[in-house]
Chain A
Amino acid sequence: MLKKLTYFSIDHPKLVIILILVLTGLFLFQFPKAHIDTDPENMLEANQSDRVFYDQVKKDFGIRDIIVLGITDENGIFQTETLGKIARITEDILKIDGVVIEDVISFTTTDNVISEGGMMQVRRIMETVPQTKEDAEAIKASIYDNPLFVEKIVSKDGDAVALYIPIQQKDMSYDISKEIESVVQKELGRGQNYYIAGLPVAEDTFGSEMFLQMGILAPLIGLVIFLLMFFLFRKASLVVSPMIVAMFSVAWGMGAMIGLGFTVHIMSSMIPIFLMPIAVLDSVHILSEFYDRYPALQDRKQTLLAVTDELFTPMFYTSITTAVGFGSLTLAAIPPVRVFGAFVAIGVMAAWLLTVTLIPASIMLIREEKLSAKVAKREKKPSLLTKLLPGVGRFAFGQSRIIVFGAAALLAVGIWGLTKIVVNDNPVNWFNEDHKIRIADRVMNHYFGGTYMAYLAIEGHQPDDIKRPEVMAYISELQKYLEERDVVGKTSSVADIVKRVERVLKGGSEAQNRIPESQDEIGQYLFLFLMSGNPNDLDNFVDYDYQKANIWVQMKRGDNRDMEKVEQAVQQFFDNNHVPEGIEIRWSGLTYINKVWQDLMVKGMLKAVLGGFLAVFILMLILFRSPGLAFISMMPLTFAIVLSYGLIGFIGKDYDMPIAVCSSLALGLSIDFAIHFIQRFRRKFQECGDLENTIGYIFQEPARAISRNAFVIIFGFLPLVFASLTPYVTVGAFFAMLMSFSTLTTLILLPALMRMVGFRFMKR
């Protein structure tokens, strides 16, 4: 019934081509509406409880996204000249649009409360730029006297200073960081360096580099596919149409997505690079088959009809299964992953539609004599594939027992590897090792208490609960415990402020670094702090009516695994030390949020893969009407997934977002090979009734088509390896591996299985 589409295209090639052009134009017309979204918070549903809570925490404590600027001087920063530079840099940064002026933390904007000659002094850390060495030393001494500052705004060794620059919106990070850069570059001299860190910058920078990368990679992949196809078919006019199919399916998929109002996220930016290699697969089958039949028939229409008859059903099923594989991603609880899955699926079906219409139509437009000349010429020299593949077939047929048992053993090893998989991700690691964001991350976390922020939100049942001495003491103890964790660099809270006021008021020694025992005393200390400083300094730690407080946990590493460890350690603390009555404590913060969606992703992906697996299996039952054959057809994809992910487990590569997404890709594509293999195997076997003969046939044209497809898909994704953003590199490399496993399984294990058991499932 659907075949009529192809018949119509063969009869009315020009009309079909014009119709397709118009439709594609309509989809392209949607592109200018594209809206970019690089916020990892959007990996969670808008109403996901941890995300809602984080929004509340941000509101309660006036927390902004922060850019951290580090300045280092190999001779130490406490020199008159360097301090002068810091002052000027701060002054200029305050003038940048989007910077929240009153919350900038720097030597010249932040108050230090010190005790001097029995007097409580409140003043800027650096009121004026010192003119003498002694004055510079005095500033140094006053900073190191205040534990709130050490490892937060100065490094322990005095070689680095950090400025905390809160910004109005996260999506301003990249632009503001560029402006900060130009301010800093103007000032710094020899032996002085600067670093810009913090998750918001990493995320926003990723967004802007992502499009640059896509702009380079998508055409590059297109070119590689073109060259591959040209290498396989040696006729530009034949190869152009699959390329057009590929580009048009991208236009349809992306156009539909943008047109329906979805944002272009890190995930969906990968749609073109996924879609292009997949989109040409069916065309490769058509062209392959066309080449093999044309010399005998010498008539393009007759050849096309025969090819359609042979290939239409497997092509339809391979497309459907690929779409189902990606569609399974919609089972994940992560919105961008769902959007990605849905629109790759749509693109795949668009590619199928374009293949069964545009390809025959365009072949009809090539003149008969040109075709015969080209195809006939090619026929003279057998390709490498033609020579090699039958040998592979004979080997698989001959050694079937060994192959099947060897494969089973390999599968077991793969499963063992699966158990070793470590789930982990960190947006900073999306950049190459030598990217300045990665360098800044290393340097800053070496000098300071950590650029990865998480929060422990403490909530009481009624106002002033936070001022209760036992609550304040608990906060202080919890901080002490946190700071003993290896990944936690520094923590700060309202308890630190209370202790600081206590120390300054009573003048002096470290010994008095304690929490007062009466609530009035705590209340008065906090009031005193408000009278002397910047109220925002306190507002970041307690809410307005002292019902909620917030511990800032600065971590030196932002891997989700690290976050998880800290989370577990804190849980242990809660178990061993009773949380004061009426108090609830909960995690939040960007680092924590990243961990949350990662957990969801792992579960979501597992669900997606299992769901997709089941859906594909059902489709195979429908296609083959035999549980045995359906089962065998699942082998390439099972092996590809188990072996590839097992390998990930063995080599210790983190299971992160790109790796997770590849599983659905493998699901949809690996089955294609099996469908073509089994479908055509059965046809031939039912025709001739002889296994060896059938294998011999399969390793002619069908195996060539499968191998050609494998080449296109493996090499088509390979240009990604040269990307400067690691998620793309991972996808490129990992996918090549997945497809290699699945090709090998199809060409070696399937014939062996067919010989041992498969033929029983085929009625003659």
Chain B
Amino acid sequence: MLDKKLIRFITSMTIFSVLLTHGLAESQEKLSGQEIINKSQQIFFYVGKDMKAKVLMKLISKSGKERIRELTMLRLNKGESGEQKYYMYFHRPADVREMTFMIWKYLGKNDDRWLYVPSIKLVRRIAANDKNSSFVGSDFTYEDISGREVVEDTHTLNAEEELNGKSVNVVESIPKEEKSAFYSRKVSWIDQETFLPLKEEYYDKRGDLYKIFTAGKIESVQGIATIMQRTMANVKNGHRTIVTFEEVSYNIGLREDIFSERYLRSAPRKWIK
């Protein structure tokens, strides 16, 4: 209990401090590994009050076969608490159209997830302790979609270098508890200007390179630098997933009541066509 409170406290404090430093614009002082990751997470997972995106996921097998997932994603930040709500509506594949999925993300405890199965008109709560499990069969995990808590890893700034003509910080993250992650080590290349992760390498428990994240196209949406295409490739089994954001908009005024069982059963027409 104490742990959870403590984690929550630390996290909100760090988020607070990050927001402060963010306000100071171009920092003159060198940021620590933890600060960089913190800032990067804010930009990557929390930017804006809310967000809507049409997402196309291509799951590509080693032999080049594809599975398509098309969904609309709505995201709402619960103030500055670090908690978030996600709503997803699946358009494709055809037989899962109208399936919806909702995540209430917390800090320091497991997320709540609900799923609506239209063919039997049933909403089920899904409890999964495991954030490392695959998201809809892709190479992204739930953690990759909604973020991993910064305090769960120890972050070290290893180097500053150039990547694709951009100055980046290279940060190494090692889980404090071996069991809490599927990786033993993660290396992130974080753009010094936008703080978006341009590349991430995940190493498995044997220390072998396992998954590689790369940010593709980056565009400015309403003045916010947004990764429009990203790829997660599993170098061990040759599987990869390409995620393309087709329409993105921020601060559209999502109401919290959308993130409820009622709307799981009947999608909010206003946001989902």
**Residues of A participating in the B interface, judged by any CB pair closer than 8 Å:** 59, 62, 94-97, 100-102, 111, 116, 118-124, 127, 464, 467, 505-506, 516, 518-525, 527-528, 530-535, 538, 543-545
Known: A95-B206, A101-B205, A119-B125. A531 touches B93 (CB 8 A): no
Pick the contact of B65: A519, A532, A544 (CB < 8 A). Answer: A544
B residues 63-99 near A (Cβ < 8 Å) are 63, 65-67, 90, 93, 95-96, 99
Known: A94-B206, A101-B205, A543-B65. A535 touches B129 (CB 8 A): no
Residue B217 lies at the interface, judged by CB distance under 8 Å to chain A = no
A-B contact list, 8 entries, CB within 8 Å: A119-B124, A122-B133, A127-B129, A520-B118, A520-B119, A523-B95, A527-B99, A528-B117
Inter-subunit contact A111/B133 (CB<8 Å): yes
Q: Which residue of B lies closest to A521 (CB)?
A: B119
Pick the contact of B137: A94, A95, A524, A535 (CB < 8 A). Answer: A535
Residue B101 lies at the interface, judged by CB distance under 8 Å to chain A = yes
> Cα distance A521–B59 when bound, in Å?
22
Q: Which residue of A lies closest to B118 (CB)?
A: A524
Chain B's interface size range is 35 or more
Inter-subunit contact A120/B61 (CB<8 Å): no
Residue B25 lies at the interface, judged by CB distance under 8 Å to chain A = no
Inter-subunit contact B133/A505 (CB<8 Å): no
In the complex, besides A122-B133, A531-B126, A531-B137, 14 extra interface pairs with C-beta distance below 8 angstroms are A100-B237, A101-B205, A116-B127, A122-B127, A519-B95, A524-B117, A527-B99, A530-B137, A531-B135, A532-B126, A533-B133, A544-B59, A544-B61, A544-B67
Q: Which residue of A lies closest to B204 (CB)?
A: A101
> Cα distance A523–B67 when bound, in Å?
13
Closest-CB distance, A86 to chain B (whole angstroms)? 15
Inter-subunit contact A122/B237 (CB<8 Å): no
Residue B115 lies at the interface, judged by CB distance under 8 Å to chain A = yes
Q: Which residue of B lies closest to A168 (CB)?
A: B236
Q: Which residue of B lies closest to A121 (CB)?
A: B127
Q: List chain A residues, Cβ under 8 A from B266.
A: none
Q: List chain B residues, Cβ under 8 A from A521.
A: 119-120
Inter-subunit contact A122/B134 (CB<8 Å): no
> Cα distance A543–B135 when bound, in Å?
18
Inter-subunit contact A545/B67 (CB<8 Å): yes
Closest-CB distance, B62 to chain A (whole angstroms)? 8
Residue B128 lies at the interface, judged by CB distance under 8 Å to chain A = yes
Q: List chain A residues, Cβ under 8 A from B129.
A: 123-124, 127
Q: Which residue of A lies closest to B66 (CB)?
A: A544
Closest-CB distance, B185 to chain A (whole angstroms)? 14
Q: Which residue of B lies closest to A467 (CB)?
A: B95
Known: A122-B128, A505-B124, A544-B67. A528 touches B115 (CB 8 A): yes
Q: How many A-B residue contacts, CB cutoff 8 Å? A: 111
> Cα distance A124–B136 when bound, in Å?
18
B residues 13-63 near A (Cβ < 8 Å) are 59, 61-63
Closest-CB distance, A98 to chain B (whole angstroms)? 10
Q: List chain A residues, Cβ under 8 A from B124.
A: 118-120, 505
Closest-CB distance, A84 to chain B (whole angstroms)? 14
Closest-CB distance, A242 to chain B (whole angstroms)? 56
Residue B256 lies at the interface, judged by CB distance under 8 Å to chain A = no
Inter-subunit contact A505/B119 (CB<8 Å): no
> Cα distance A524–B97 when bound, in Å?
9
Inter-subunit contact B130/A524 (CB<8 Å): no
Q: List chain B residues, Cβ under 8 A from A544.
A: 59, 61, 65-67
Inter-subunit contact B126/A120 (CB<8 Å): yes
Q: List chain B residues, Cβ under 8 A from A467.
A: 95
> Cα distance A531–B137 when bound, in Å?
6
> Cα distance A544–B237 when bound, in Å?
14
Known: A518-B119, A524-B96. A100 touches B236 (CB 8 A): yes
Q: List chain B residues, Cβ under 8 A from A520.
A: 95, 118-119
Q: List chain A residues, Cβ under 8 A from B67.
A: 544-545
Closest-CB distance, B133 to chain A (whole angstroms)? 6
> Cα distance A700–B133 when bound, in Å?
85
Inter-subunit contact B120/A120 (CB<8 Å): no
Q: List chain A residues, Cβ under 8 A from B136.
A: 527, 530-531
Q: List chain A residues, Cβ under 8 A from B205.
A: 94-95, 101
Q: List chain B residues, Cβ under 8 A from A516.
A: 119
Known: A119-B125, A524-B118. A62 touches B135 (CB 8 A): no
> Cα distance A473–B223 when bound, in Å?
54
Inter-subunit contact B125/A524 (CB<8 Å): no
Known: A467-B95, A533-B133, A544-B66. A62 touches B119 (CB 8 A): no
Q: List chain B residues, Cβ under 8 A from A124.
A: 129-130
> Cα distance A522–B94 when bound, in Å?
12
Closest-CB distance, B83 to chain A (whole angstroms)? 20
> Cα distance A619–B126 when bound, in Å?
80
Interface readout for B89-123 with A: 1 if CB under 8 Å, 0 if not? 01001011001010000000000000101111010
Pick the contact of A102: B66, B90, B135, B236 (CB < 8 A). Answer: B236
Closest-CB distance, A66 to chain B (whole angstroms)? 16
Inter-subunit contact B65/A538 (CB<8 Å): no
Q: Which residue of B lies closest to A118 (CB)?
A: B125
Q: List chain B residues, Cβ under 8 A from A524.
A: 95-96, 99, 117-120
Closest-CB distance, B106 to chain A (whole angstroms)? 16
Inter-subunit contact A122/B61 (CB<8 Å): no
Known: A123-B129, A520-B119, A544-B65. A531 touches B237 (CB 8 A): no
Residue from A97, A534, A535, A538 with most neighbouring chain B CB atoms (10 Å): A535
Known: A121-B127, A122-B130, A505-B124. A59 touches B63 (CB 8 A): yes
> Cα distance A421–B138 when bound, in Å?
53
Q: List chain A residues, Cβ under 8 A from B119.
A: 516, 518, 520-521, 524
Inter-subunit contact B115/A531 (CB<8 Å): yes
Closest-CB distance, A529 to chain B (whole angstroms)? 9
Closest-CB distance, B111 to chain A (whole angstroms)? 12
Pick the contact of A123: B66, B101, B130, B206 (CB < 8 A). Answer: B130
Inter-subunit contact A62/B237 (CB<8 Å): yes
